[in-house]
Chain A
Amino acid sequence: MITTQEFHVNLGPQHPSTHGVLKLNLVLDGEYIVDCEPVLGQLHRGMEKMAEGMHYGQFIPLTDRLDYLASAANNLAYVLAVEKLMGVEAPERAKYIRVIITELQRIASHLVAIGTWGLDLGAWTVMLYTFRDREMVLDLFEMYCGARLTLNCFRVGGTTYDFPPGFIEKLKEFLDVFPRRVDDYEALLTRNPIWLSRTKDVGVISAEDAVAYGLTGPNLRASGVNWDIRRVYPYEIYDRVEFDVPLGSRGDAFDRYMVRIQEMRQSCRIIKQALEQLPPGEVMLDLPTISLPDKRQFPNNFPAVVRHFHLLVQGYAPQEKEIYLGVENPKGELGFYIVSDGSAYPYRLKIRAPSFINLQILPKVLKGALLADVVCILASLDPVLGEVDR
């Protein structure tokens, strides 16, 4: 007597295409997915707890490790949240610098998303092309702050550095070259029949589901929901630049791909406008309560020395209140919910990680899909496990 039996496969955490240490417990019927259970937490580092033992300024480099493909964007989210808590605002030039760096980071993050997605579907070459162009962005970062991946370049009340000489020329060069490079990816993928057949009508997320599951970022916009925090609650200078919010219509993997491609073009547009409007001036707020004094006055200016030590040893204490601030990260809405008890350490710091919440819809989308679609859908949701597990 012949019976049929379901087939259990552990996809991950050691698998070529799970984008980190994600483990999926799959139940297969032939090649079709019957059930899927994501197992999270293999990269848990206790970020939120670590934040409770640190000054507000000390936690900035650790936010790099959330979504390590978009570290500057995480920095911005955290720094803006603390600024909101402290009730301060960065100088104009710092705001522009932050936006330029963050939009570059968005380009870099989407390049990785599309490149690894291509790799997951067997298009190796796309991945190497996108990484070549990401390298140009990383070079710009290295020029700006000295690090390539974990930037740690923004501070509460401004940024650490101004643009070095030669940076803007190099950035303009990149902005000239980059749209043509995007055309190349599109020539390789967008209308390629194999790519179309792999992504069209695969992993469809309806607008209702997307909202119900709390998706944000490109994944939400691909379902046709017009929600971009840069547009809805403009922060920094986003109300002063023109850009379109690319939307999808069907909510399938192909729409998520197209939204990302178009967002890269829009990011270029934002950077160009920001460069035109870039004002002169300071990049760091000169406020005795939060900003470090100029080191050039040491050691003769004794009050400055005392302030320096006081700020670093005691830290700055905000008022007793709770705030939430979300910004539009490449992956979605990254929010920091900070509860302050009036001391120099946060009482509680909750991170609303977009990848974690985007990943929750995975079991629902995967049901009935093919094994080959698992990697496609996973790549289209673009989770970063550093952020999922925190």
Chain B
Amino acid sequence: MSLWQLLYEPDRWADEINKLITNWGLQLGIPVFITQLFLMIVVAVILLSFILLNVAFLTWLERKVAGHIQVRHGPMRTGPHGILQPVADGIKLLFKESITLPFVDNFIYTLSPAMMFTAAMLTYIVLPFAPGWVVAPLDYGLIFVFAAGGVSSFFVFTAGWSSNNKYSLLAGMRTIAQVISYEIPMILAALGVALFAGSLNLVEIVEAQKGLWNIVVQPLGFLLFLTAALGETHRAPFDLLEAEQELVAGYMTEYSGMRFALFYLGEYTHMFAAAALMTTLYLGGWQGPYLPPVVWFLLKAYALVLLIMWFRWTYPRIRIDHLMNFSWKFILPLALINLGVTALVLVW
């Protein structure tokens, strides 16, 4: 067992460590399910710390990218090139007062940010980072991802509703409209990939792309999925729910302190999940020459994240009725055509 193995043969390594600990537990007389539970907790902690660190890095990256696009520096004062800015932000938000206004629906108001973040994190359970590095290789992984994403958006709506603020309510209404219109084309676009792989299991979808990535086979599907994912994760140019020029801060208007931070975390978690999902579905997941699989996976995902950020800092925001039109009259027909053609080709 070496570092080389850890990086290049992660599936063998994961199996070995699993066996090792199970055997060691059995020797001590600990039942298998307890050692498994222990392993799960370890994996959960690793995954959670990855998500949080990743989000911290992404907030810094976004500010840096935005800064340089806008011919300025971005954060510079905390650490070299402001790399410790997320830490400073986190400390600040933790110590700020979490104001609860008297007219909010307290239970839902408190629950929403936490649930939104949790739902965004659920997606990571089925994402295959490398062969063998997946928490639950569910057979219905693709459906699970969409379900988790939808739930996350639902809590955005409840946040807007429970805030009892008119701007928040408008943002909540927009959320529901937007999520419904973008989830459908997104699933339809992804179904094309599932048809190719013959499975809804994300691991099998990645393995089916050996040699030929799906982006080559389904370029239209990729573009549709990218657009729909922007709409689904509320990123510009589809960031209508927090359109601060119209709705002040959208559903987050009444939130402050750590609750606000949770929304922020949730948003970035969701964005990285979308990028990782696109990597899995269209860019061949962990596959690539020379470099270790997990590095390949992260490289592709970060490239997509960068692209999403670039969109945000280049384009104006789309209007709500155009958003609907764009989804139902443009993306949905194209997604249906894409799915139909894929099915026809496969049947042939």
Chain A 365-390 per-residue mask, 1 if CB under 8 angstroms from chain B, else 0: 00000111111000000000000000
Complex interface: stretch among B24-32, B66-74, B120-128, B266-274: B66-74
Contacts of B243 in A (CB 8 A): 122, 372
CB-based contact B245/A122 at 8 Å: yes
**Residues A72-130 near B (CB distance < 8 A):** 118-125, 128-129
CB-based contact B70/A122 at 8 Å: no
CB-based contact B236/A197 at 8 Å: no
Neighbour of A194 across the interface among B69, B246, B248, B318, CB < 8 A: B318
Contacts of B313 in A (CB 8 A): 124-125
Contacts of A242 in B (CB 8 A): none
Contacts of A371 in B (CB 8 A): 170, 246
Taking the complex as formed, is B219 at the interface, i.e. its CB lies under 8 A from any CB of chain A?
Answer: no
A121-B166 CB under 8 A given contacts A16-B245, A16-B248: no
Residues of A in contact with B (beta carbons under 8 Å apart): 7-9, 15-17, 30-31, 118-125, 128-129, 132, 188-189, 192, 194-195, 197-198, 370-375
Among B70, B166, B314, B316, max chain A CB count under 10 A is at: B316
Taking the complex as formed, is B320 at the interface, i.e. its CB lies under 8 A from any CB of chain A?
Answer: yes
Contacts of B167 in A (CB 8 A): 9
A198-B245 CB under 8 A given contacts A122-B236, A124-B66, A129-B70: no
| Distance between Cα atoms of A195 and B319 in the complex (Å) | 10
CB-based contact B316/A194 at 8 Å: yes
**Residues B58-105 near A (CB distance < 8 A):** 66, 69-72
| Distance between Cα atoms of A373 and B322 in the complex (Å) | 12
| Distance between Cα atoms of A9 and B247 in the complex (Å) | 11
Taking the complex as formed, is B348 at the interface, i.e. its CB lies under 8 A from any CB of chain A?
Answer: no
CB-based closest 3 A-B pairs: A122-B317, A128-B70, A17-B245
CB-based contact B317/A125 at 8 Å: no
Among A8, A31, A118, max chain B CB count under 10 A is at: A31
Count of A-B contacts judged by CB separation below 8 Å: 78
Neighbour of B245 across the interface among A128, A194, A375, CB < 8 A: A375
| Distance between Cα atoms of A118 and B240 in the complex (Å) | 15
CB-based contact B321/A125 at 8 Å: no
Q: Distance (Å) between the CB of B32 and the closest chain A CB?
A: 54
Residues of B in contact with A (beta carbons under 8 Å apart): 66, 69-72, 166-167, 170, 173, 236-237, 239-240, 243-246, 248, 313-322
Q: Distance (Å) between the CB of B333 and the closest chain A CB?
A: 18
CB-based contact B244/A121 at 8 Å: no
| Distance between Cα atoms of A370 and B243 in the complex (Å) | 14
| Distance between Cα atoms of A188 and B311 in the complex (Å) | 12
CB-based contact B315/A123 at 8 Å: yes
8 extra interface residue pairs, beta carbon distance < 8 Å, beyond A121-B245, A198-B319, A370-B319:
A9-B166, A30-B173, A122-B315, A188-B314, A197-B322, A198-B316, A372-B243, A372-B320
| Distance between Cα atoms of A195 and B316 in the complex (Å) | 6
CB-based contact B70/A121 at 8 Å: no
In the complex formed, the residue of B with least CB distance to A26 is: B166
| Distance between Cα atoms of A118 and B245 in the complex (Å) | 10
A370-B320 CB under 8 A given contacts A9-B166, A125-B314: yes
CB-based contact A372/B316 at 8 Å: no
CB-based contact A31/B170 at 8 Å: yes
CB-based contact B246/A192 at 8 Å: no
Contacts of B321 in A (CB 8 A): 31, 370
In the complex formed, the residue of A with least CB distance to B69 is: A125
A373-B319 CB under 8 A given contacts A7-B166, A128-B71: yes
CB-based contact A124/B70 at 8 Å: yes
Contacts of B237 in A (CB 8 A): 122, 194
Among B173, B240, B320, max chain A CB count under 10 A is at: B320
CB-based contact A194/B317 at 8 Å: yes
Contacts of A17 in B (CB 8 A): 245-246
CB-based contact B70/A16 at 8 Å: no
| Distance between Cα atoms of A9 and B170 in the complex (Å) | 11
Q: Distance (Å) between the CB of B184 and the closest chain A CB?
A: 21
| Distance between Cα atoms of A198 and B322 in the complex (Å) | 9
Contacts of A374 in B (CB 8 A): 246
In the complex formed, the residue of B with least CB distance to A18 is: B245
